[in-house]
Amino acid sequence: MALQVLRTPQARRVVEREMDGTARAGYEAARDELRGRGCLAGGHRMAATDGDDYPLCGRHLANDWRMYTTYPDEKTVVIVAIDRHTKSHDPAVVLAEVLRGLSTVGRRSRDKPPCCEDPAAPPPLTDEVREWLRAIV
């Protein structure tokens, strides 16, 4: 059964206006994988400021593009943001400005846990993230 994949207005705008062909192809492949595999295709869990996991996942796309997802339930994926990660711009810092508790400091590659272990058990949302999603999706 295919999952429903929603996008925030920011993610939609970036895909439509900023991504070139290579980046867009990487995004479309990732979106299709999310539709079929859910959080198993979400990349890695983001860190919380308290050192735990935050209910947001990050995935590398083509080149310096990154995609951030969350999972309101086991049948829905929300692409929260798509952005470029460069030396002068870190999308996690921008997201942390609106998502309290999200760490602006990333983990080492070997310390990044997968987005989920079981597609039927996506990362549970906090009430704050759930309310934020309702306001923008």
pLDDT tens digits, 79-133: 999 999 988 888 888 899 989 899 988 888 888 999 999 888 899 998 888 998 8
In the block, tokens 């890695």 appear at: 44
On average, the pLDDT of the chain sits at 92
- Edge-to-edge strands of the sheet including 44-47? 4-7, 76-84, 65-73, 53-60, 44-47
- Mind listing the pLDDT tens digit for each residue in 35-61? 999 999 999 999 999 989 999 999 999
Q: Tell whether the model's pLDDT for residue 2 goes beyond 80.
A: yes
The domain spans of the chain are 4-136
Provide CB contacts within 8 A for 23, sequence distance 6+: 61, 62, 63, 65
CATH classification (class only), 4-136: alpha beta
Q: Give CA–CA dist 46/24, Å, rounded.
A: 23
Q: What is the pLDDT of residue 16?
A: 95
- Mind listing the pLDDT tens digit for each residue in 13-23? 999 999 999 99
Give the predicted TM-score (pTM) of the model: 0.93
Q: Tell whether the model's pLDDT for residue 62 goes beyond 80.
A: yes
CB-side exposure of 27: number of CA atoms within 13 Å? Answer: 26
Q: What is the pLDDT of residue 1?
A: 65
